Chain A
């Protein structure tokens, strides 16, 4: 089976996903991702003529909630697991200088 994905493509996908990869990992994941795509490719052997695209595995639609206010968390609960906070806020590294 030919490789579907080369290391350059992995680098690009990793950048879009904000993941840092080493050169070795680029090679390793290029191979693994190609294997996965080749495996999935077996599906294209099926004839899907006239079959509607599936957007969701369940044949259910229109599951709504009424527009009513429910219980929210307190500020203390909301911030409880945050790595860093500042007053009532979640704190993150400066976005704008």
Chain B
């Protein structure tokens, strides 16, 4: 791999990420049109979001509170006073010719998020979080024009800018996924990638270690890649840029550096899987910001802030740590259970209803997540109440049903509201652990299979295989209902005289 070779020559990727998240309010940011994906083009529009003359925007309180909630979850300083600004914008998907945004007074700043990367915690700085309005959608596949659908124009959009604290692809991905998990925990965005609720813009450069320089090295020119709308394209873009910049630097160690070249915009080509040069940024972007005269400032006092703070749930990383400690589950299982707030809530409700954490975790993972995935839903939405799942866990733990029968019962519970015990008895899935009931089957099997008995008794190479064979015969005769542990003990006692 190119990446590995160059690492040994001494560089460190330095990456900052801008993320745009659409907030899941009912209505748009500055007008009462529905914030809803998938409706016929240009039907969720009104004179305000169409940029008609003489209209006035009005602020959506819910959107502001959602944004503050996220800023709090990111440990940001919350601005007591913010205002709105106009940012010059000359594309047809925002017909006002400006975007309402927050320029010099973002609602949140100087925060951080802790990530778990390869079992280690890493803290990533958050430069700022601010609220703005989304643009509409351009449709490029029409014959001789570009079509514009303004249903999305004016949807509340939260922009979160990280410090350049990300140093590898894994960290970028952990950061992006943590952000998605966080907004879903907070319930402020569905973060549905297919519907474009989340977009990424990485800023990538390499720090080249060089002892001969006064600062101990230098940066390669920063590359910004705009508008990535999937985790896959983010991951490939960052990996590609790291390798590409390393190659450019190797080809021209003295010229390819930030102090000699300005920032560049590149775009991701999803088909060729490369980034493509777009333009140099000769000067800082000139957006001609000025204060938005049509909107009044927002001031947050302590009382309001406290009310928003009270809505903060236990955050994913805290919940992960607590699950590990309280339930003694491994990293992989805990990560799965805490990936979504609904799943974590469901798991805890099952425990509350009396299940053992390990059994509940295993059933949710092996059956619940598989079935939820097949149905395209969430474990908590499968229609199995925490109480019923807890009953199934208890039946499995006390050997009333076997682990494989539990899987069958779990699936049957999707179709039936009956208690798991009833399903088990109706389908003859109750496990027989009663020694006297099994003794006659064992005696029969031993009598019919003298050779296997002899092999087992001999203790030779074939002994283990012979025992499994005998056990299998008993299980078959009991139609799978015998408790294998009890059967094994009975066979051992009869053949070897052990108790």
B145 touches A92 (CB 8 A): yes
Shortest C-beta distance, B162 to chain A (Å), equals: 27
B298: chain A residues at CB < 8 Å are 61-62
B62 adjacent to chain A (CB < 8 Å): yes
Range class of the A interface residue count = 35 or more
Interface contacts (Cβ under 8 Å), in number, total: 131
Starting from the known contacts A73-B47, A87-B41, 15 additional A-B residue pairs (CB-CB under 8 Å) come to: A16-B288, A18-B90, A55-B83, A55-B291, A56-B291, A62-B296, A62-B299, A63-B296, A70-B32, A74-B43, A88-B40, A88-B43, A89-B139, A93-B145, A94-B140
Interface of B is mostly: loop
A43 adjacent to chain B (CB < 8 Å): no
B264 adjacent to chain A (CB < 8 Å): no
Shortest C-beta distance, B336 to chain A (Å), equals: 33
Given known A75-B42, A75-B43, contact A68–B297 (CB-CB < 8 A): no
B88: chain A residues at CB < 8 Å are 16-17
A95: nearest chain-B partner, CB-CB: B146
Q: Which of A58, A67, A71, A94 contacts B146 (CB 8 A)?
A: A94
Instruction: Please measure, in the bound complex, the distance between the C-alpha atom of A16 and the C-alpha atom of B59, giving whole angstroms.
Output: 28
B43 touches A72 (CB 8 A): yes
B43: chain A residues at CB < 8 Å are 72-75, 78, 88
Instruction: Please measure, in the bound complex, the distance between the C-alpha atom of A6 and the C-alpha atom of B400, giving whole angstroms.
Output: 90
Within 8 A of A (CB), among B76-91: 81, 83, 88, 90-91
Instruction: Please measure, in the bound complex, the distance between the C-alpha atom of A79 and the C-alpha atom of B63, giving whole angstroms.
Output: 28
How many B residues, CB 8 Å from partner? 48
Segment of B147-155, B221-229, B364-372, B423-431 engaged in the interface with chain A: B147-155
Residue-wise, chain B 27-49 has the 8 Å CB interface mask toward A (1 for contact) of: 10001111000001111111100
Given known A62-B299, A96-B146, contact A72–B90 (CB-CB < 8 A): no
A63: nearest chain-B partner, CB-CB: B296
Instruction: Please measure, in the bound complex, the distance between the C-alpha atom of A17 and the C-alpha atom of B98, giving whole angstroms.
Output: 11
Instruction: Please measure, in the bound complex, the distance between the C-alpha atom of A91 and the C-alpha atom of B32, giving whole angstroms.
Output: 25
B32 touches A73 (CB 8 A): no
B297: chain A residues at CB < 8 Å are 55-56, 61-62
Shortest C-beta distance, B413 to chain A (Å), equals: 38
